[in-house]
Amino acid sequence: MLAPGVQHGVALTALLVAAARAIETHRPDALAADPYAEHFVRAVPASASWPTHPADVPDGDADPLWGRLGRYFGLRTRVLDDHLLRAARTGARQIVLLGAGLDTRALRLAWPPGRTVYELDRADVLAFKDDVLGPLPAAPAATRRTLAADLRDDWAPALLAAGFDPSVPSAWLAEGLLLYLPPAAERRLIATVDRLSPAGSTLAFEVKTGWESGPVRANPVYTAARAIGVDLLALFDAAPRPDSVADLAARGWTPTVRTPFDFTRHHGRGPLPEPDDALAANRWIFAAKPS
């Protein structure tokens, strides 16, 4: 049975990302492949008519939603895939996906032996994911453990109860999560990750810098998403954001701040800056806890 909550609010953005990943998967120059993404999109009435193949997007990359934003999500997927695999190959034995949504990295990435992937999200999102994945052939290279948790609250006890070992280096990921959290929850998340991370751990996450102007908020990326029922601007928490980069640095981490356009140039494809850009304020943060 489909979880009804997946069709509304922040959970609906997970379907938006899944559709983008499905489109990216079918591109001849794909940066990432997710064979499960299309199944999630087709399983929900609210997204069943969304495109899942480049042929379904007549304007291609010129389409603000399925072209430009879609390529953004494809690029983000590849960059974070690379980051997590690199961390796992250099010592991280636990991968924690905070706000995992419809992420299938536990299933589709070639993890080194002995890795465990923890997926934290709302119970209805995880139930929907497992309902869709159940009939599909899947042989994860890592141990997959799902944990129902509200990331606005104290989720550490559930993670520890599931077998997470805070003495073992871990790779943490908050992909597209912090934009939706209240500031206090973001501060607690950073503090919790720090408390549960020994030397050699990493954390990757996404933020926006500053408040976006009226012309930026009128960007076609936002208006096109609103037209399919995903009002990103209404879902983003509007309170002043914490400076989590400075917080991590004060805790002894070494953060690196990158723009998505850095990786567009590196990979030779993806979004480039445009006037009144909805992506211009986005930053991808990669932090390491040194020994």
Q: 157-188, pLDDT tens digit by residue?
A: 999 999 999 999 999 999 999 999 999 999 99
Mean pLDDT of all residues belonging to the chain: 95
Overall average pLDDT of the 21-50 stretch: 96
Overall average pLDDT of the 35-50 stretch: 96
Lowest-pLDDT range, 74-78, 206-210, 255-259? 206-210
pLDDT exceeds 80 at position 24? yes
List the domain boundaries for the chain. 4-288
Q: Which position has the higher pLDDT, 212 or 5?
A: 212
pLDDT band at 5; cut points 50, 70, 90: low
Architecture category of domain 4-288 in CATH: 3-Layer(aba) Sandwich (3.40)
Q: Which residues pair with 280 in a beta bridge?
A: none
Looking at residue 131, what is its pLDDT?
A: 96
Q: 196-207, pLDDT tens digit by residue?
A: 999 999 999 999
Q: 109-130, pLDDT tens digit by residue?
A: 999 999 999 999 999 999 999 9
pLDDT band at 4; cut points 50, 70, 90: low
Closest CA to 41 of 21, 11, 70, 19: 19
Whole-number Å distance between alpha carbons of 143 and 42:
27
pLDDT exceeds 60 at position 2? no
Looking at residue 222, what is its pLDDT?
A: 97
Whole-number Å distance between alpha carbons of 254 and 180:
24
Whether the CA torsion 99, 104, 107, 110 is positive or negative: it is negative
pLDDT band at 6; cut points 50, 70, 90: confident
pLDDT exceeds 50 at position 1? no
Looking at residue 9, what is its pLDDT?
A: 81
Q: Which residue has the tokens 């992909």?
A: 175
Inter-residue long-range contacts of 87-94, CB under 8 Å, 24+ positions, other chains counted: 87/171, 87/202, 88/112, 88/115, 88/171, 91/169, 91/200, 92/169, 92/170, 92/171, 92/200, 92/201, 92/202, 93/168, 93/169, 93/170, 94/118, 94/164, 94/165, 94/168, 94/169, 94/170, 94/171
Looking at residue 10, what is its pLDDT?
A: 85
Q: What is the pTM of this model?
A: 0.96
Overall average pLDDT of the 93-98 stretch: 98
Closest CA to 103 of 177, 159, 193: 177
CA distances from 99 to 151, 180, 189, 227 (A): 7, 10, 11, 25
Overall average pLDDT of the 141-165 stretch: 96
> Using alpha carbons only, what angle is made at residue 250 by residues 247 and 252, rounded to the nearest 5 degrees?
115
